[in-house]
Amino acid sequence: MSSASVKTPLLWAGLVVILDQLSKLWVVGSFLTHESLPVIPGLFNLTFVTNTGAAFGILAGTQSLGRQLFFVGVALVALVVLYMAYKEYREQGQIYMTAIGLVAGGALGNLVDRLRLGHVIDFLDFYFRQSHWPAFNIADSAITIGVGLFLLAGFREQGKGKDAG
């Protein structure tokens, strides 16, 4: 096992957590809840919202200990699964290691919010006319990019297998 295969996920995860938490601290210090700043009119705002639910506000609602324990548990299970994926894919190349690091960093970034605040801070608000994509954050972006890279690497390997057969 190369030291690069160990370092890559840790570096990506650390970078994501740092950028995610710094961006959220900036938003909290610069905006009132639900305050919005147009960045690209008609397409993108910075809008400070809190999310007590999962991705896209799924299961959002009144905060409760049960809901918090559920989301913390899901994040911890995801991190265990990512560790198992790391063990399985560590010799498969840097794309897998980068993907695992991005997803782990995103999970950790949102977990920090849940443990510290009881909710997740979201602020990236894309929209077209009256249609808004649910607000998200850097951690969510890292998870999405990481899953995309993982799928891309899998499709590339699947294509190589067909060429060899």
**For 97-122, what is each residue's pLDDT tens digit?**
999 999 999 999 999 999 999 899 99
Cα–Cα distances in angstroms (integers) from residue 100 to residues 27, 55, 134, in the given order:
27, 18, 24
Known active-site residue 20:
no
Contact indicator for 120, 58 with CB cutoff of 8 Å: no
Domain that holds residue 112: 3-164
Taking the CB of residue 70, how many other CB atoms lie within 10 A of it? 13
Range of weakest confidence among 8-12, 38-42, 69-73: 69-73
Q: Following CA atoms 59, 138, 116, 84 in sequence, which dihedral angle do they give, to the nearest 10 degrees?
A: 80
HSE at residue 79, side-chain half, CA atoms within 13 A, is 16
Q: Which of 20, 113, 122, 125 is catalytic?
A: 122
Question: pTM (2 decimals)?
Answer: 0.88
Angle (CA) 157 91 161, round 5°: 20
DSSP state of 43: T
Summary mean pLDDT of the chain: 89
Contact indicator for 143, 107 with CB cutoff of 8 Å: yes
Q: Which of 20, 113, 125, 140 is catalytic?
A: 140
Exposure letters 130-164 (e unless 16+ CB within 10 A, then b): eeeebbbbbbbbbbebbeebbeebeeeeeeeeeee
pLDDT at 135: 94
Q: Which residue has the tokens 């989301």?
A: 71
Neighbouring-strand partners of residue 49: 122
Q: What total of structural domains would you count in the chain?
A: 1
Give backbone dihedrals phi and psi of 42, rounded to 5 degrees, phi first: 85, 0
Q: Calculate mean pLDDT across residues 32-54.
A: 93
